Amino acid sequence: MKINTKEFRRIVQNCSLINHGNLSVPVLKYLKYIKMEVKADSITLTSTNLNEWYSRIIKLDHGENFSLLIDTEQLLKVLKHIKSEFLEFSIIKDEKGSIVQLKIEAEMTFKITPDLEINNFPDVPFSRPKSSIKIFNKEKLFEIMNKICFSATKNNINKSYSGILFSQKEDHLELVTTDIHRLSLVDTKIAKTEKDFVISVDSAKNMMKIFNNQEINFMADSISVHVSSKDELYYSRALKDEFPDYNSVLNREQIAESWYEADKKALLQNLKSILNFHKKEKAIYTEFHFADKKLNLTAIGEDSDIIETSINLKTVNEDLSDLRIVALNARYIHEAINHMDNIRMNKSPGEFRKPFYLADIQPDYEFYHIVMPIKFRGL
C-alpha cells in the first residue's frame, strides 16, 4: 500500500490534535490511538477524545482488508524520520495468521506493534445535525473566530463560558465569547445559521486547523457540530448554551455616537511597558484617564510600584474636555487590542464603574469588546 508521505503526515498530525489518552483509566487508553481501517480501495484513519471525532479517507489501489489501532505518538516519531515522497504499508502475521506488526517502509523500515482490541474504540455517540450553516466567506469566518477565542475561559476552569456562541439574528449572525469579566461580540453577514449553538474554543481551533485550506460543509445544532470536506469528517459535541444576556450589557449606540481613536502600535507599546513592569501580577490595576486629547495611563502594582505613560488621541466626535476616568485590567485591554485592526474606545457615561468599550468596524463585520471595570486602589 503506497501512500504520499506529506499527505499521510498531515492526517496523523490532525489526529494528534484531538486524541490524548489517559493510561491510568483503562477505558480511556484507546484515545491515544489512531483507528486504522484498510480495505481494497481505501484506508480510513480515525481519532477521538470523546468530545471530538476526526476521520479521513485515503484512496488506495492495492489494499488488503484489516483493522488495527496504532499509537499516535509512535506513528508521529516514525514519520519524523521519513524524508522520501512515498511510504509503503504492509502487515506481518504470525503462524496462525494473526497480525503482529505493522511495517512501514521508506528509506528505512519501521515495525510497530499495534493494539488489536479495536472493538473498544469509541464510536460517535450522536447523529449528524440537520440544520446547516451557510458560509459566504469561510476565510473571513475563520478570521473572526480566531479573533474572539481569547476572551473565553479555559475548559477546565469554567466549561459554561469556554465556547463560541453562534446566534442568528434577523439580518446578521452574532459570534460571542465571554469569561464574565469581558465580552467579545462580532456582528457579520458572511454566514447564516438555522439553529443557535455553542462550540468549545478548543474544538473550534482544531476545526480551523484541519479545514484551513478546504471548502467545507458546516452543520450544527444544540447537540453536535459536523464539518466535512471531500474526504475528511469532523464531529464535536456542542456546549450547553448558558450564556448570559449579553445584549443587556452591550450598548452599540454608545460606541456609535461617540468615541476616541488611538494609534494601535503606540497603544500596544505603552500597554506592553506596563505589562513588563508588573509582569508578576495577574491583574494589573490601571487608571485610564482621558483628558486634553491624551490617554494617560497609571498602573499600580501590589507592592505600590507605579508606572505612568500617555499617548495622543484622535477625537472623532467626543469632547475630551469632560474628564473621564475608568479603572481596568491592563492585561485585558492589551489582549483585546492585539486582536483588533482599528481601535475605537469609549466609556459609558456616568460613574467610573461603567463598562469600557472597544470596537473594530470592518467592511465584513463589526467587532465589539467590553471590559468590566475593577476597583482601583488609587482611584
Cell of 188: 457579520
Q: What is the mean pLDDT of residues 35-60?
A: 92
Tell me the average pLDDT across 88-113. 90
Q: Which band of pLDDT confidence, cut at 50, 70 and 90, is reported for residue 248?
A: confident
- Residue 206's pLDDT band, with cuts at 50, 70 and 90, is very high
Q: In what order do the strands lie in the sheet with 217-220?
A: 66-71, 33-38, 42-48, 52-59, 232-237, 224-228, 217-220, 132-135, 191-193
Lowest mean pLDDT among 102-106, 163-167, 321-325: 321-325
Does the pLDDT of residue 130 top 80, yes or no? yes
**pLDDT reading at 85 higher than 90:** yes
CATH superfamily of 132-164+191-243: DNA Polymerase III, subunit A, domain 2 (3.10.150.10)
The rounded distance, in Å, linking the Cα atoms of 197 and 52 is 16
Q: What pLDDT, on a 0 to 100 scale, did the predictor assign at position 43? A: 92
Strand-pair partners of 157: none
* All three cell numbers of 199: 462550540
Which residue has 507605579 as its cell numbers? 306
Domain ranges of the chain: 2-120, 132-164+191-243, 251-371
Which of 76-85, 156-165, 247-256, 282-291 is the least confident region?
A: 247-256
Torsion over CA: 312, 318, 319, 320 (sign) = negative
Please provide the DSSP assignment of 59-78 as one string. Answer: E-SS---EEEEEEHHHHHHH
pLDDT in tens, 140-149: 999 999 999 9
For 300-311, how does the pLDDT look when each residue is reduced to its tens digit (9 = 90+)?
Answer: 887 788 999 999
Q: Which of residues 290 and 13 earns the better pLDDT score?
A: 13
CA nearest to 17, candidates 202, 225, 161, 229: 202
Q: What is the pLDDT of residue 351?
A: 53
Read off the C-alpha cell for 374: 475593577
Q: Read off the C-alpha cell for 153.
A: 475561559
The grid cell for 172 is 446578521
Question: pTM value?
Answer: 0.89
Is the pLDDT at 76 greater than 90, yes or no? yes
Decide which of 1.25.40.10, 3.10.150.10, 1.10.357.10, 2.130.10.10 is the CATH code for 2-120. 3.10.150.10
| CATH 3.10.150.10 corresponds to the domain 251-371 | yes
The model's confidence at residue 136, banded by pLDDT at 50, 70 and 90, is very high
- 375 closest CA partner among 333, 309, 308, 327: 327
CA 289, CA 122: separation in Å to the nearest integer? Answer: 56
Decide if pLDDT at 378 tops 70. Answer: no
Nearest-angstrom CA–CA distance, 214 and 192: 19
**What's the pLDDT at 194?**
94
